[in-house]
Amino acid sequence: MSELDPHQSISYDLNQDLPKIALKPLMSMVKCTKLVEISSETTGIFTKKISGNQNKKITPKMRIAFSIFVIIHGLIHLMGFVKGFGIKDVKELTLPISKPFGLIWFIASILFVIYGILFFLNTKYAWLFGTITVVISQAIIFYFWKDAKFGTIPNAITFIVIVISLGSFLIKSEFTSRVQADFSNNNTFATDILTENDISHLPALVQEYLRYTKSVGQQKVKNFRAEFAGILRSSPDDKGMNVSSVQYNFYQNPSRYYYISATKMGLPATALHIYQNETATFQVKLLNWINVVDARGEKMNQGETVTLFNDMCIIAPATLIDKRIEWEVISDSVVKAYFTNGRIKISAELYFNEKHELVNFISIDRYETDGKSYTQYPWSTPVENYQMINGYLLPSKGKATYHKPDGDFTYAELEYKSVAYNLDFPQSD
């Protein structure tokens, strides 16, 4: 590990090889369709919010455009209402329309407008409301097929978007159900005040780090929820894809749930990363349905254990009192930690500066993977820009790097949006 500079440009990671696991297949698929512009649900990706509240996301242009499209499509339905109630003669509609059917056209119009607003606001059940709306609209289009058949085209486009939204809902529902289960069954860790006596068995460097981060004198950590935004890359020359994420970690029985969303030219990609009972899985779905990555297995389990421990060191330093950690002093600025979770044991070197800040984390127990092959490289996550974040002095941003024989590959740049500790129930995601 000596060939690595622990004080190199700062980095931070919260997911298992997303660029290689997820973005490379996504990039390949997008290139095949000649999509070249990368965008995100959070265009202002490095706008921080270092508090417990959630940042408001910036709505992408594609969301705005589709919402306008839906609303216009809905307003066109008013033609049937206008003719049915005799408000004005509509030459485009040659078939007679009774007042009851005119009322149905009006209802369909209003439903489309409401659905457009719900979609714009990215509400949870917009897909369900949209489904009902399209069914009603298509039913009256079939009834007045001669005049209204071309309305099937915008309905078909809308239905495709609804199906994509449903896929996102199902993936997010799995994430939510896993988190809720841990709140019910894996959340009884003691949260009494962390004292000097609690940290007395730790190496001096780690003790000073816990004092510096304001962990001593505050509650011990049983869980946390964090939001991040940043850039992930699939190759060194890749400009990157903007992403946003939310994660929950629990420490009674170590678990980690990580949900990632991104878009490319308006096409969504969703990733779900689960670490529970010493087992890790990572799935990435293009358009929220097409499974492009399915990473799992012993090497994935080991690599994600490294990620879990990385979170402990950087996001939740108070958890470093865990008895599952063994310590070895390497020098006056470096300690080596061995973290054991059940049958899995990993190690990492932690580098500190003269301020007692953790500035780098290096492990050789993690793998770069595309879900099919796994290659072991030294992996570092230097961090910087310590700020007060919800009562703790923590690094607020950084990058993640694999150190390969042909050169370093920094594949992630992430920054906090929010972090909250010792929750008793899930927050709205």
Least confident of 15-19, 91-95, 105-109, 243-247: 15-19
Query: What is the Cα 426 distance to its own chain's centre?
Result: 15
CB burial of 364-379 (b: ≥16 within 10 Å; e: otherwise) equals bbbbbbbbeebeebbb
* Nearest Cα to Cα of residue 52 among 394, 391, 349: 391
Angle at 302 between CA 296 and CA 305, to 5 degrees: 105
In 42-144, where do the E strands start and end?
none
Kind and range of the H or E element at 133?
Answer: helix 126-143
CB-neighbour burial class of residue 136 (10 A; exposed 0-12, middle 13-18, buried 19+)? middle
Residue 19 is given by DSSP the state I
Query: What is the Cα 196 distance to its own chain's centre?
Result: 36
Which is higher by pLDDT, 166 or 238?
166
**Mean confidence (pLDDT) of the chain:** 86
* Nearest Cα to Cα of residue 314 among 383, 232, 370, 388: 383
User: What local confidence, expressed as pLDDT, does residue 237 receive?
Assistant: 86
Read off the amino acid at residue 365: D
Report residue 265: phi and psi, to 5°.
50, 40
Does residue 371 carry a pLDDT above 90?
A: no
Query: Which residues are paired to 326 by β-bridges?
Result: 338
CA–CA dist 169, 95 (Å, integer): 40
CB-neighbour burial class of residue 209 (10 A; exposed 0-12, middle 13-18, buried 19+)? buried
Does residue 39 carry a pLDDT above 60?
A: no
Mean pLDDT of 182-194: 95
pTM of the model: 0.80
SS3 299: helix
**Are 113 and 119 a contacting pair, CB within 8 Å?**
no
Does domain 18-55+191-421 fall under CATH 1.10.10? My reply is no
What's the pLDDT tens digit per position in 302-358? 999 999 999 999 999 999 999 999 999 999 999 999 999 999 999 999 999 999 999
User: What local confidence, expressed as pLDDT, does residue 61 receive?
Assistant: 81
User: Would you list the domain boundaries of the chain?
Assistant: 18-55+191-421, 61-163
SS3 117: helix
Does residue 11 carry a pLDDT above 60?
A: no
What's the pLDDT tens digit per position in 60-95? 688 899 999 999 999 999 999 999 999 999 989 999
Kind and range of the H or E element at 228?
Answer: strand 223-232
* Nearest Cα to Cα of residue 133 among 153, 160, 110, 99: 110
Q: How is 139-204 classified by DSSP, letter by letter?
A: HHHHHTHHHHGGGHHHHHHHHHHHHHHHHHHHHHHHHHHHHHHHHHHS-----PBP-TTTTTTS-H
Q: How confident is the model at residue 264 (pLDDT cuts 50, 70, 90)?
A: low
Does residue 207 carry a pLDDT above 80?
A: yes
* Nearest Cα to Cα of residue 274 among 260, 288, 291: 260
Structure-block tokens of residue 163:
């199906």
Provide, rounded to the nearest whole percent, the portion of the chain with pLDDT above 70. Answer: 85
Does residue 196 carry a pLDDT above 60?
A: yes
Report residue 82: phi and psi, to 5°.
-60, -45
Structure-block tokens of residue 201:
């068995």
* CA dihedral for 218, 221, 222, 225, sign (positive or negative): positive
Which is higher by pLDDT, 20 or 84?
84
Q: How many residues does the chain have?
A: 429
Does residue 36 carry a pLDDT above 70?
A: no
Does residue 25 carry a pLDDT above 90?
A: no
Read off the amino acid at residue 334: V
User: What local confidence, expressed as pLDDT, does residue 40 receive?
Assistant: 29
**Residue entry with tokens 């949209």:** 130
Provide, rounded to the nearest whole percent, the portion of the chain with pLDDT above 90. Answer: 74
CB-neighbour burial class of residue 230 (10 A; exposed 0-12, middle 13-18, buried 19+)? buried
CA–CA dist 427, 179 (Å, integer): 10
Does residue 6 carry a pLDDT above 70?
A: no
